[in-house]
Amino acid sequence: MTSKLEQLKQFTTVVADTGDIDAIARLKPVDATTNPSLLLKAAALPRYAELLKQAVSASNGDVDLASDRFGVSVGREILQVIPGRISTEVDARLSFDTQATLGRARRLVELYEGAGVTRERILIKIASTWEGIRAAEQLEKAGVQTNLTLLFSFAQARACADAGAFLISPFVGRIYDWYKKAEGRDYIGAEDPGVQSVARIYDYYKAHGHKTVVMGASFRNVGQIEQLAGCDRLTISPDLLQQLAEDSGTLERKLSTEISGQSEARIGESQFRWEMNEDAMATEKLAEGIRQFARDQEKLEKLLAANT
């Protein structure tokens, strides 16, 4: 009987949330995505030792550049085993600086193109701060497509769509974590706040004709994935992908496309910041996510510096 993974692939594009090439080759997702935490894990794998050394030697002691080179090298390796795109993240420490984000994003694109990878096969990941969204808007106009990540609120989702972002990554699991701790209870199935957040965004995008792709991310269990079957894309860890591959039960489509094209005014900066301020979960998880990625970026840079 067909596995749940194969059933899911019939109505959702499956993306691997990992830098592990062996897992990607085994599970055969369309796309893949990385972040500083995943690159730090990849840097510890023997198969990436040579790429790490090459990134350092080509960067003349510039650890920021070496980090970007390593991320691009890992991305290029992954692209050899998937048919679609790789998402590569801009340094999280630049999340509140539009111009610095633009500069780093352009460098990533240049490094990919220098390695023979066209921009049609990459997405530049940027944190969904107001400044990050503004950078994404400029990149999209310049023909560089983006993945707006660390997305926890409806205000962020609206702003990303207004900016014409190619794709957003709402973090299901981290929303679930916050409410589970805050409310002192567990959530199952459709009552899961993370699932509800993504479903609301998906329905809103389709109702208003937004072309921005919704890619649910950060899953804690297969139940969350099953509740979002039918979402444009889902980025899933190898462990959960394997669980889906080993389960031959029936998987039903939960989300469906109904485009009406209703128009709505853009969300302005003051409204965006106020709505974020009123959403404690989104404010806390966005700040926490940026800090976590920043710390892992620093650990990666220390590892690179140790190889100079």
pLDDT at residue 308 greater than cutoff 80? no
pLDDT digits (tens, 9 = 90+) for 146-198: 999 999 999 999 999 999 999 999 999 999 999 999 999 999 999 999 999 99
What pTM was computed for the model?
0.94
Banded pLDDT at 260 (limits 50, 70, 90)? low
Residues taking part in catalysis: 125
Domain boundaries, the chain: 4-306
Arch. (CATH architecture) of 4-306: Alpha-Beta Barrel (3.20)
Q: Check residue 23 and give its pLDDT.
A: 87
pLDDT tens across 18-71, in order? 888 888 888 889 999 989 998 999 888 888 889 999 999 999 889 999 999 999
pLDDT grade, residue 256 (50/70/90)? confident
Percent of the chain surpassing pLDDT 90? 85
Confidence of residue 278 (pLDDT cuts 50, 70, 90): very high
In Å, what is the CA distance from 62 to each residue of 43, 51, 245? 17, 16, 42
**pLDDT tens for residues 78-115?**
999 999 999 999 999 999 999 999 999 999 999 999 99
Q: Does the pLDDT of residue 1 top 90, yes or no?
A: no
